[in-house]
Structure 1
Amino acid sequence: MVRCEMVKLLDPKNDLVFQKLFGMKKHKHILIAFLNAVLRLNGLEKIKDVSFEEKQLDVTLLTSEKLSILDLHVVTETSININVEIQLVNQYNMIKRTIFYLSKMILSQLKKGEDYSSLSRTITINILNFSYLEEENFINNYIYHNKITKKILSDLCEIIFIELPKFNNAHKDYNDKLHKWLTFLANPSGEEIQDMAKTDSEIKEAMNVLYNISSDEELRRLIDLRELAIMDEQNRLNGAKKEGIEQGKADILIKQLVKKFKTLPDEYRKKIKTLSEETIDVIATDIFDMESVEDLKKYI
C-alpha cells in the first residue's frame, strides 16, 4: 500500500528531490523503470541494470549565485551512457548546452590509445518544466540522419527533450508507462497516481520513496534553500530578458532618430539607453510629430 500519512509531498520536479528519488543506488530499479519508459524499451531490449555514482550534494553549490545543474549520469549493463537532468528554469541555451555536454560525454569515453570503435551509444534526456521547442509533441527525439531521405546515419548520439507543460495539456493514456511517470512528476498527490499505485508496483515504490524523502526535515530545509536559489535565478533571467528587450528597443529608437534628424548627440544616446521600455515606446510613437532633436528634452 502507498503510505497515506499527512505529509506534504515534495515536488519531484525539484532537481534535488529528483536526485534523491532516482539517483540513489538503493532504489535504482525506480530509475531503470523510468528510463525504460522514456526510451520505449520492451522485452529483451529493456535496461536491466545501471551503474552510477551517487552525488555528494554540497549546500554551497545548491544555493550558489550561479545555479549548478544537478544531472544524473548512468551506464547500462550494455554500456549505453545516459545523462538525465531536469530543468526548472529556462536559461535560453538548452540546445547548444545539450550538444556541448553530449560531446563531452562522448569524448570522456576515449582513453589514450583507444580508437573510435570503443565509443558507446550516448543519450541525453532533458526534462523541462517549460515549453522550449517549436514542436507540438511533449517528447522529441533527435539523432543523426540524412536530411533528404531521413535514413539514419548513426544512433551513437541521441538527444531527448520532454516538455512537461506540453504533457500536461496532452491527452493522457494511463496504460502508457511514460504517461504514468510524467503524471507522477507533474502531480504526485493527484488521484490518478493513487489509483496507478494500486496496480503498478514501480509507481507505488516511487511514491513510497517520495513519502520518505518528504518526511526528512533536514532535506526539506535544503530543498527550501534550493527553491529560493532557483527563484533567484529565474528572477535574474527575467530581469536580464527585460533589460535586453529595453536595450533592443533603445537601439532601434536611436536609429529612427538618426534617420529623422541625420544626427543625434552622444548625450541623448546615453540617456535613451537608460530609459524604461514604456518611455521608449512613447518617444517612438511621438517621433513623427517632433520638429527637432531638442524635442527629446521633455522625455529625458
Structure 2
Amino acid sequence: MNKIKNFSRLNDYFFKNLMGRDERKGLALDFLNSIVELEDNKYFVDLKFLNTEKTPDKIDGKLSRLDIQAQTDDGTFWDIEVQVSREDYMPERSLFYLSRIYGNQLNSGEKYPVLKRTIGINLLNFNLDQLRTLSSWHNYCCFCVPNTNVVVTRHLEMHFLELPKIKISDIKRLKKAEQWGAYFSGKYTDKDMEVLAMNNPVIKQALDYEAYFNSNDELRKEYLAREEAILDERIRHGYSHQQGIVKGIEKNKIETATNALKEGLSPELIAKITNLSIEEVNRLRQQLNK
C-alpha cells in the first residue's frame, strides 16, 4: 500500500503511537535525552507512560488534547505535546497542564521535598509570538530572576520546539536534537531521511515504524480521522481569528473617528481618513454631543 499522501509526522495520533508505547519507549528516551541534557553527562535510562488510554478525536465538538505523559527513572514527570494549529496562549496552556501534574504529586501530609521536577515538551508547527525575537528553534524557560542567570527553581520547565525555524545546511552533521527536529519538521526528502537513519539507528526505527503505520489499514483510518478533526479545528479557529481581526479594525476606525471629532476635524475629512460613511461619523458626533 502506498504511503499516505502528504503524511504528517506531527499528526498527534501517529506521534502518540510512535513515541507513547512501551514497545517503542526507546524512541521517546532518545528524544527526551536529546532535548534535555542532564548534568555530568548523565542521561535518562528508563521511563514509564502514565496515560496510555486512547483519546477520542473530539470532546463536545472541539478537538481533544492528545499528549504523552511519562516519568523517567530519576522521578522527573513529563508532558509531551504536539501542536499543529496556532495556539495564541501556548505558554499559559503548557504551564496550566504542568502545574496540575506538579500539584497532584503531593498527598495529604506529605512534605515538599518529595516533589519531582516536571517538564513540558511542546513540539510546534508554528512560531510563538512570544519568541519571535529568538532565532533558535529550541528554547526553554524556568523560574529565574529577570536579567540575571540566577535560577530560583527548575521544578517547572517548559521547552518550545518551533519547527518552522529549523534551518539545516548539512544533514550529515546534526546534533541529536536537530536530527529529531529535522525528522518531525517534514522539510526534508526521503533521501535526507536515509542519511539520518544511517547516522542514528533510533531514527531508522522511527522510519521503520512509520512504514508499518502507513501499511496498516486500521492505523491509517485513525490517522485520517484525526487529520479531519485537526482540519476542522483549523478552519474554525481561522474563521474566529478572522472575525476578531475585522472587529479590531472596526473598533480602531471608530476610536480614530471619535478622537478626530474631539479635535474638531470635519466629518467629511474623518470619513475620508477612516473609510467610515458620513452618516456613521455624524452618528458618532451626535453621541459625543449628548
| Letter matched to residue 85 of structure 2 | V
Aligned partner of 1:228 in structure 2 is 228
| Counterpart Cα distance in 2 of 1:36 and 1:239 | 39
| 2:86 pairs with one of 83, 90, 94 | 90
Instruction: Could you tell me which runs of 5 or more consecutive residues in structure 1 were left unpaired when the two chains were aligned.
Output: 263-281, 295-300
What TM-score, normalized to structure 2? 0.83
| Counterpart Cα distance in 1 of 2:3 and 2:275 | 58
* Partner SS, residue 236 of structure 1: helix
* Partner SS, residue 196 of structure 2: helix
Aligned partner of 1:123 in structure 2 is 119
Identity percentage of aligned residues: 27
* Partner SS, residue 62 of structure 2: coil
Q: Please provide the CA RMSD for this pair.
A: 2.9
Q: Is the 8 A contact 1:261 1:293 kept in 2?
A: no
Change (3 A) 1:74 1:292: closer
Structural mapping, 1:38-77, within 5 Å: 38-41=35-38, 45-53=42-50, 55-59=52-56, 61-62=57-58, 65-77=61-73
Change (3 A) 1:261 1:84: same
Aligned partner of 1:297 in structure 2 is none
Change (3 A) 1:108 1:171: farther
Instruction: Could you tell me which runs of 5 or more consecutive residues in structure 2 were left unpaired when the two chains were aligned.
Output: 263-270, 284-290
1:78 aligns with 2:74: yes
1:19 aligns with 2:16: yes
Aligned partner of 1:245 in structure 2 is 245
Structural mapping, 1:46-195, within 5 Å: 46-53=43-50, 55-59=52-56, 61-62=57-58, 65-132=61-128, 133-134=131-132, 135-167=134-166, 169-171=167-169, 174-187=173-186, 190-195=190-195
* Partner SS, residue 203 of structure 2: helix
Aligned partner of 2:282 in structure 1 is 293
Greater relative CO, 1 or 2 (CA 8 Å, sep 6+): 1
The alpha carbon displacement at 1:256 in A equals 3.8
Describe the superposition over 1:211-251 as per-residue Cα deviations: whole angstroms up to 9, x where unpaired.
11111112211211111111111111111111111111222
| Counterpart Cα distance in 2 of 1:84 and 1:291 | 51
The alpha carbon displacement at 1:171 in A equals 4.5
The alpha carbon displacement at 1:42 in A equals 8.4
Change (3 A) 1:255 1:153: closer
The alpha carbon displacement at 1:285 in A equals 4.0
1:217 aligns with 2:217: yes
Aligned partner of 1:273 in structure 2 is none
| Counterpart Cα distance in 2 of 1:288 and 1:64 | 42
Aligned partner of 1:208 in structure 2 is 208
| Counterpart Cα distance in 2 of 1:165 and 1:185 | 11
| Letter matched to residue 125 of structure 2 | N
| Counterpart Cα distance in 1 of 2:276 and 2:2 | 62
The alpha carbon displacement at 1:164 in A equals 0.3
